A and B are shown apart, each in its own frame.
Chain A
Amino acid sequence: QQQVKQSPQSLIVQKGGIPIINCAYENTAFDYFPWYQQFPGKGPALLIAIRPDVSEKKEGRFTISFNKSAKQFSLHIMDSQPGDSATYFCAASMADDMRFGAGTRLTVKP
């Protein structure tokens, strides 16, 4: 049973565009929602994270929007650059568990 559902599977945008990646979770016990960025041949790296007591968090060009009642959260990348091309994973975590979405392969075209 997939505990975190992520969409879309892949996404292509032009440089400067704003890709949006969406995730939904089932278990209301999750209380920490990180996003990871993975480049080919590397391990996932923590990008930005949010806790359910806030509805939005921004770090540089990356913004997480969180809707607790809908059990959904999303990642927005402002002014996307070719260097942002990577696979992005959302995750939902509680003290002793962390589950990942299936990943979104993002391509930002020059």
Chain B
Amino acid sequence: DARVTQTPRHKVTEMGQEVTMRCQPILGHNTVFWYRQTMMQGLELLAYFRNRAPLDDSGMPKDRFSAEMPDATLATLKIQPSEPRDSAVYFCASGLVGAGGTEAFFGQGTRLTVV
């Protein structure tokens, strides 16, 4: 049963601390997305990768957020230093680029609370 796996599912941290969220995309998928979901903003695209290369991270606050894919089985999203306004659910999605559009599959999300 192929699925996107995200860890941790929940994270509570103090303001100023570093937070790392991990994502294992579905094997064989060549595109990975990071989204942030809040009640106010809905689903916001933060960054995406194709074949492990970052294609667009314009949705991320560059001063504190960073996203990487050290290998094809792992994508990470790091926040340093974290702030209370970063509290949200962070979703990773992976997909396979086909002839027109990308069908993406989401993980269960990481619920981040910064206090």
Interface of A toward B, CB cutoff 8 Å: 30-34, 36, 41-46, 49, 51, 89, 93-103
Task: Sort chain B's interface into a size bin.
Answer: 20 to 34
**Are the C-beta atoms of B106 and A31 separated by less than 8 Å?**
no
- Going nearest first, the 7 A-B pairs with the smallest beta carbon separation are A32-B101, A43-B106, A93-B101, A102-B42, A100-B43, A31-B100, A44-B106
List residues of chain B with CB within 8 A of the CB of A31: 100-101
A98–B106 Cα distance when bound, in Å, is: 13
In the complex where A96-B31, A103-B42 touch, is A51 in contact with B106 (Cβ < 8 A)?
no
Interface of B toward A, CB cutoff 8 Å: 4, 31, 33, 35, 42-43, 45, 48, 50, 55-56, 91, 93, 95, 97, 100-109
**Are the C-beta atoms of B108 and A43 separated by less than 8 Å?**
yes
A97 partner, pick from B4, B42, B56, beta carbons under 8 A? B56
List residues of chain A with CB within 8 A of the CB of B48: 96-97
A43–B45 Cα distance when bound, in Å, is: 14
**Are the C-beta atoms of A98 and B100 separated by less than 8 Å?**
no
From B92, which residue of chain A is reached at the shortest CB distance? A43
**Are the C-beta atoms of A96 and B108 separated by less than 8 Å?**
no
